[in-house]
Amino acid sequence: MGAARRAAMAMRRSVSQKLMSAPAVAPGERLWVPRDGAWVKGEVLAQANTLVTLELEDGAEHELDLGFGELHRANGPGGGVGGSYDDATAMRHLNEPELLSNLRARYLADEAYTRVGTVLVAVNPLKAIPQPRMRAYADAAFGSEAPHPYDLAELCFQRLQSGAPQALVVAGESGAGKTETSKIVLAYLAWRGGGGDAGESLSAALDAVAPALEAFGNAATSRNPNSSRFGKFLKLYFDGDGRLRGGGLETYLLEVARVVRQAPGRAGKARDMVNFSLGRFPLVSADSWTSDHPSELSKRGCFFPDCARAERSR
């Protein structure tokens, strides 16, 4: 660290300690501190007004000036898997590092879902995980079972019985698992609504139209090889007895154009699409791919796993 930077930090600390005050933190208390773009947990060794000295988990000593930053206290272990919290609102200290740490702990234990009140946070496990029994959530109070889309779907279904229309919004980053989560919710509500011909025919119709919608509405991005580039508004109609009687699907195309290749320096930009997903259907199975004729997909940038396998096997 240069002399000028050390002098600037010393002056900043001096101003902070003279003009500001900070909450008292006891020796041994655990705090989160930002370091190198991430959050690191440390144990308090001493405090001098706004200046706190901590020992980080890797043994390094760190000084935190609370006069110019927010205090992020750490929680003790929760009652969930690996000491995590099923519902983040049960944390005594709810802050960014605690929320992220809790999601990470649950993700590593193959628990993809975490409640934050009536909001369900899903971290895409990128693999198949066992689904709980639907029957366990039927007529159950919200939050009494493990966090899952079934839990929110059941809450909507119960409130629907009072005659109030319900809306469930599935939102997130590209590749977060919105499409799969929507399918899980639909499957539960179709089952909860009595299944039968209406539920089965609705599920079958949506399954049948999905390939066409994805062919023209999906595209490859640097984050997701099969990103849905359109919004879906799904309506389900129940009668007064809670029986599913029908539904409808509206789509909203987000982008009507695609780039054929990414510009230099744009490889990390998720919104740079490479062609429509439709392009992979005829090209992946084409018999004309030979080592003498390089694939146009490889020239344009192929992000599809099946395309990549085909390219390697040519």
pLDDT of residue 148: 97
Tokens of 56: 């980080």
Please give the CATH number for the structural domain made up of 118-250: 3.40.850.10
CB-based burial of residue 5 (10 Å sphere; 0-12 exposed, 13-18 middle, 19+ buried)? exposed
* Rounded Cα gap, residues 77 and 311, in angstroms: 48
Percent of the chain as helix, strand, coil, to the nearest 5: 35, 20, 45
For the stretch 87-128, pLDDT in tens is: 999 999 999 999 999 999 999 999 999 999 999 999 999 888
Between these two residues, 258 and 144, which has the higher pLDDT value? 144
For the stretch 42-94, pLDDT in tens is: 999 999 888 899 999 999 999 888 877 788 999 999 998 889 999 999 999 99
Asked if the 3-65 domain carries CATH number 2.30.30, the reply is: yes
Tokens of 303: 């992000």
Model confidence band, residue 215 (pLDDT cutoffs 50, 70, 90)? confident
Mean pLDDT of 137-145: 96
For the stretch 264-279, pLDDT in tens is: 655 544 444 445 554 4
Task: Determine which helix (DSSP H) or strand (DSSP E) holds 104, and give its type and residue range.
Answer: helix 96-108
Beta-sheet strands, E only, within 159-273: 218-220, 227-228, 230-238, 244-253
Mean pLDDT of 206-221: 75
| Range among 117-121, 162-166, 211-215, 272-276 with highest mean pLDDT value | 117-121
* Rounded Cα gap, residues 303 and 308, in angstroms: 7
Domain ranges in the chain are 3-65, 118-250
